[in-house]
C-alpha cells in the first residue's frame, strides 16, 4: 500500500508541478517560511490523511507536520485536520495535490458511511466495486473501508466473478462454473434469470450475484436459494433504496456509486507566514 501510494503521489505531484511552480518562484522568496492548517469546512468522514507525509517528503520534506485525526474519524465543520510548517514554496506547491487527495478520499469515505448507516441493524453488508478512478483503486477502496463498508475484490486477480459476458464466452453457466473450479480462488457467479439461478445452484454454486432485480424480485429469488448460497445484490442500488434491498435477506449489496459518484468534500488549507 505504501509503495503504491508513493507512486500515485509522485505522479500527481509531477502532473501539477511539472518543471516547477512558476508562480511561487516568481513571488515568494526562496527562504520564506510559513505554516499551514488543513480545516474541515463541512461534516465529513476523514480519509487520505496518511498521504500527507508522503506528499511533503516527495518535495524535500518540511520542518514539522502534525496530524490530529485518523482515517475513518467523523469530523465536524471547523475541525483542524493537520498543521504543517516549512518553506513557503514547498507548502504552496503541495497544497493542491494534498487537498485533491483529502477531498476526494474523504468524499468516498463520507458516502460509504452514509450507505453503512442506512443498512445498520440488518444482517446485510455493503460492498464497494471496481468502479474506481484509474490508478486510485487501492486508495479509494481504503477510503470506502474507512467509511464503514466492506471491500469487494481488489481486481481481476484475487477472486473469480463470473459475469454475463463470461457465461456467454464460456458457453453457459455450467461450463463457466466447472471450468473455474481448478483455479483455487473464491468463485461468484452472476445470474440474471431464474433458469440461470437454478442451473447455478444445481452446479453447486456457493456465492451468487443477483443483478438488476427489484427488492420484491430479490426477496423471491432469495427464498428459492434457501440458504444454499450466499447472495449479493447489485444494479440500481442507491441511498434511497439500499435499505429495502438489505431487508430482502441478502448477505451483501454492492454499489458502484460509493467510488464512482462520491462528491469531494470541502477541506481548506490556510497559510500564514512565520
The answer to whether residues 236 and 213 touch, using CB atoms and an 8 Å cutoff, is: no
**Could you say which of 211, 247, 251, 266 is catalytic?**
211
Based on the residue annotation, tell me whether 141 is a catalytic residue of this protein: no
DSSP for 139-155? HHHHHHHHHTPBP--SS
CA distance 44 to 103: 10
125 among known catalytic residues: no
Query: Which has the closest alpha carbon to 253: 274, 235, 240?
Result: 235
Residue pair 91/34 in contact (Cβ under 8 Å)? The answer is yes
Q: Is 10 a catalytic residue?
A: no
Contact 16, 96 (CB under 8 A): yes
- Count CB atoms within 10 A of the CB of residue 147: 31
CB atoms within 10 A of CB 95: 20
163 has catalytic annotation: yes
Per the residue annotation, which of 114, 190, 196, 199 is the catalytic one? 190
Contact 34, 271 (CB under 8 A): yes
261/250 Cα distance (integer angstroms): 24
Catalytic residue among 32, 125, 138, 163: 163
Using the Cα atoms of residue 125, residue 258, residue 266 and residue 140 in order, give the sign of their dihedral. positive
Q: Please say if 240 is a catalytic residue.
A: no
Catalytic residue among 32, 74, 96, 130: 96
Q: Identify the DSSP state of 182.
A: G
Burial of 3 (0-12, 13-18, 19+ CB in 10 A): exposed
The single residue of 33, 74, 80, 131 carrying the catalytic annotation is 131
Q: CA-CA distance, 160 to 180, in Å (whole number)?
A: 8
Report the distance separating Cα 147 and Cα 80, nearest Å.
19
Active-site residues: which are they?
Answer: 96, 131, 163, 190, 211
Amino acid at each position: 500500500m505504501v509503495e503504491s501510494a508513493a507512486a500515485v503521489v509522485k505522479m500527481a505531484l509531477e502532473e501539477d508541478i511539472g518543471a516547477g511552480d512558476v508562480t511561487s518562484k516568481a513571488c515568494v522568496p526562496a527562504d520564506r517560511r510559513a505554516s499551514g492548517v488543513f480545516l474541515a469546512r463541512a461534516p465529513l468522514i476523514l480519509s487520505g490523511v496518511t498521504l500527507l507525509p508522503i506528499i511533503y517528503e516527495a518535495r524535500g520534506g518540511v520542518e514539522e507536520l502534525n496530524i490530529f485525526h485518523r482515517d475513518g474519524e467523523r469530523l465536524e465543520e471547523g475541525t483542524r485536520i493537520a498543521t504543517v510548517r516549512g518553506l513557503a514554496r514547498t507548502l504552496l506547491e503541495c497544497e493542491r495535490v494534498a487537498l485533491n487527495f483529502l477531498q476526494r478520499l474523504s468524499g468516498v469515505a463520507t458516502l460509504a458511511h452514509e450507505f453503512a448507516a442506512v443498512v445498520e441493524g440488518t444482517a446485510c453488508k455493503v460492498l464497494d466495486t471496481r468502479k474506481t478512478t484509474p490508478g486510485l483503486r487501492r486508495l479509494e477502496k481504503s477510503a470506502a473501508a474507512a467509511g464503514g463498508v466492506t471491500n469487494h475484490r481488489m481486481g481481476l486477480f484475487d477472486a473469480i466473478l463470473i459475469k454475463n459476458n463470461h457465461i456467454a464466452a464460456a458457453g453457459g453457466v455450467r461450463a463457466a462454473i466447472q471450468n473455474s473450479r481448478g483455479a483455487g480462488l473464491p468463485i461468484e457467479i452472476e445470474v440474471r434469470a431464474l433458469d440461470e439461478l437454478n442451473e447455478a445452484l444445481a452446479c453447486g454454486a456457493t456465492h451468487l450475484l443477483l443483478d438488476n432485480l427489484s427488492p420484491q424480485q430479490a426477496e423471491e429469488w432469495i427464498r428459492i436459494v434457501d440458504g444454499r448460497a450466499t447472495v449479493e445484490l447489485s444494479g440500481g442500488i442507491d441511498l434511497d433504496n439500499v435499505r429495502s434491498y438489505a431487508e430482502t435477506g441478502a448477505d451483501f449489496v454492492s454499489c458502484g456509486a460509493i467510488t464512482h459518484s462520491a462528491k469531494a468534500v470541502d477541506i481548506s488549507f490556510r497559510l500564514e507566514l512565520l
